[in-house]
Amino acid sequence: MTRPYNFSAGPAAMPAEVLQQAAAEMLDWQGSGMSVMEMSHRGKEFKSIIEAAESDLRELLAVPAHFRILFMQGGGLAENAIVPLNLSRGGAVDFVVTGSWSQKSFKEAGKYCETRLAASNAAQAHTELPDPASWRLSRDAQYVHLCSNETINGIEVHHLPDLKALGSDAPLVIDFSSHVASRPVDWSRVSLAFGGAQKNLGPAGLTLVVVREDLLGHALPICPSAFDYKTVADNGSMYNTPPTYAIYMAGLTFQWLKRQTEGELCGVAAMEQRNLAKAALLYDFIDQSQLYVNKVAGNCRSRMNVPFFLRDESRNEAFLAGAKAAGLLQLKGHKSVGGMRASIYNALPLAGVQALVTYMRDFEKTRA
Ligand SMILES: *Cc1c(COP(=O)(O)O)cnc(C)c1O
C-alpha cells in the first residue's frame, strides 16, 4: 500500500511503522487481552507503557535529571493559561511576539498576570526574528515567553537566547509544539518547554511539559489542581486519568525515533540532519523559482513549516487540486496567512519533499 504524502500542520503525519504497530496491537496489547484504550491507567500494563515513554523521551531529548517530564492535556493553548498560573507568582511576564502563536500566548496570559511586550515583529508582518539584543526585558519578570517555532508564520528560533547575557535572570519558557524532537534542545537556556503532541510526537490529546524542578510548587491559588505542575509531577502525570492512548502512540513514536540513524548519528540528532536536508531542498527550490516565494528572513526560516505563495494567486486552486491528484495532501496555507504551507515534520521523509519539489517544478513549467 502506498500512502500519499501528508503536509498537514497538525494533527500531522505519523510514521507508518508506528501506525502499523498500533494496528497490530489494537485488539490485544502484548498478550494482555486488552486494547491499550481499555486498560486501567493504574494497572501494571499501562504503568510499563508510560514509564517507557518517559524514559525514552528523556533519553531522546537529553532532558537533565533536574527537569520533570509531565504528560498533560489541554494542548498548547491550555498551556498559555497553565504556564502563567504556575510560574507568574503574581508578578509580571515578558513576551516575545514573533507570530500567531506567541500573540495568542501573550493575550491569554493577560488574564492571569501582568504581561509586558519585550519585542514584536508585527511591523514586519511576522517575517523576521527580532534581534535578542533589542528585546526590552524587565528586571523583575517571572519568566520570558518565546515560541521557538511559529507554525503558522514559518519562523524558527535557531539559537535560543542566553537570557543571562541579555541581563535577565528570568527563566525562559518555550512553546516548542511544532518542532519538538526535530532537533536537540539546549536545556542550559530553557527552564520550561511545552508542546502539543499532534505535530511531531503523536496524536492530539497529549501535551508535553518539561519543567525545571525548582519551578514547581508556586502555582496561584486559583490554578486548577489538575493543572498544577507540582500536583501533576507528584502523581507521575496520573493525578487524573491521563490521555492513555495518546501516551502509548507517542511512546511508539519515541521508540521509532530511537531507531532512526544517519551515519554515526541516531535519534533526534539523526532527525535534525534529515530535517536540515529536507528544508534546504524546499527553500532552495522556492528561492530560485519564478512562481513561488517564501517571505521569511533567511536566518529564521522554519525547518518544519514552510509557508509559500504563488506569485499568481489565481492559480492557487489549480495548484492544490493538482497536488492532491499527485498524492500530496493538505498544502493549503493557514487562513490568516493565505497561500500554501508545507509542514515537513519528522514523519515526512525526504522522498516526500522530493515529490513536492518535482510537482512544484512541473506545475511552474507547464502552466506558467
Ligand atoms: C499547534 C500549536 C499550538 C496549539 O496547540 P493546541 O493543541 O491546538 O492547543 C500552540 N503553539 C504552537 C506553536 C502550535 O504549533
Q: Could you tell me which residues are annotated as the binding site for L-glutamate?
A: 42
Q: Is the pLDDT of residue 64 over 80?
A: yes
Q: Is the pLDDT of residue 47 over 80?
A: yes
Distance separating alpha carbons of residues 342 and 303, to the nearest angstrom = 10
Distance separating alpha carbons of residues 72 and 209, to the nearest angstrom = 7
Q: Is the CB of 243 under 6 A from ligand 1?
A: no
Please list, in sequence order, all residues whose beta carbon lies within 8 angstroms of the beta carbon of residue 286, skipping any fewer than 6 positions away: 292, 293, 294, 306, 308, 360
- For ligand 1, atom 3, which residue shows the shortest CA distance? 76
| C-alpha cell of residue 95 | 513576551
Q: Could you tell me which residues are annotated as the binding site for pyridoxal 5'-phosphate?
A: 101, 151, 175, 198, 240-241
Over residues 268-300, the pLDDT tens digits come to 999 999 999 999 999 999 999 999 999 999 999
- For ligand 1, atom 4, which residue shows the shortest CA distance? 76
Maximal C-alpha separation, the chain: 63
Ligand 1 mutation pick, 103, 151, 192, max ligand atoms within 8 A of CB: 151
Does residue 296 contact residue 153 with C-beta atoms inside 8 Å?
A: yes
Order across the sheet with 340-343: list the strands: 292-293, 305-310, 340-343
367 pLDDT band, cuts 50/70/90, is: low
322 pLDDT band, cuts 50/70/90, is: very high
Which letter does DSSP use for residue 130 in this model?
A: P
Closest of 70, 72, 50 to residue 207, by C-alpha:
72
- pLDDT score at 329: 98
Distance separating alpha carbons of residues 132 and 147, to the nearest angstrom = 13
Handedness of CA 218, 221, 226, 227 (dihedral sign): negative
- Partners of residue 69 on adjacent β-strands: 210
Q: Is the CB of 302 under 6 A from ligand 1?
A: no
Over residues 162-184, the pLDDT tens digits come to 999 999 999 999 999 999 999 99
∠ CA 206-217-55 to the nearest 5 degrees? 45
| Atom from ligand 1 closest to the CA of residue 79 | 9
| Atom from ligand 1 closest to the CA of residue 176 | 13
Over residues 218-251, the pLDDT tens digits come to 999 999 999 999 999 999 999 999 999 999 999 9
Which structural domains are found in the chain, ordered by start?
A: 17-258 (3.40.640.10), 262-366 (3.90.1150.10)
Q: Is the pLDDT of residue 338 over 70?
A: yes
Over residues 93-147, the pLDDT tens digits come to 999 999 999 999 999 999 999 999 999 999 999 999 999 999 999 999 999 999 9
Closest of 97, 85, 216, 206 to residue 150, by C-alpha:
97
Average pLDDT over residues 58-68: 98
How many angstroms is it from 362 CA to the middle of ligand 1? 33
319 pLDDT band, cuts 50/70/90, is: very high
- pLDDT score at 227: 98
Q: Is the CB of 76 under 6 A from ligand 1?
A: yes
Q: Is the CB of 177 under 6 A from ligand 1?
A: yes
C-alpha distance from residue 29 to each of 32, 66, 251, 268 (Å): 6, 33, 14, 27
188 pLDDT band, cuts 50/70/90, is: very high
Count of other CB atoms within 10 angstroms of residue 100: 17
Q: Is the CB of 9 under 6 A from ligand 1?
A: no
Stated as kind and residue range, the H or E segment containing 282 is helix 267-288
How many angstroms is it from 201 CA to the middle of ligand 1? 13
- For ligand 1, atom 12, which residue shows the shortest CA distance? 177
Peptide bond preceding 224 in cis form (omega within 30 of 0): no
- For ligand 1, atom 7, which residue shows the shortest CA distance? 75
pTM beyond 0.85, yes or no: yes
Distance separating alpha carbons of residues 103 and 99, to the nearest angstrom = 6
Distance of CA 187 to the CA centre of its chain: 16
Q: Is the pLDDT of residue 1 over 70?
A: no
How many angstroms is it from 205 CA to the middle of ligand 1? 11
- pLDDT score at 2: 84
- Partners of residue 262 on adjacent β-strands: 265
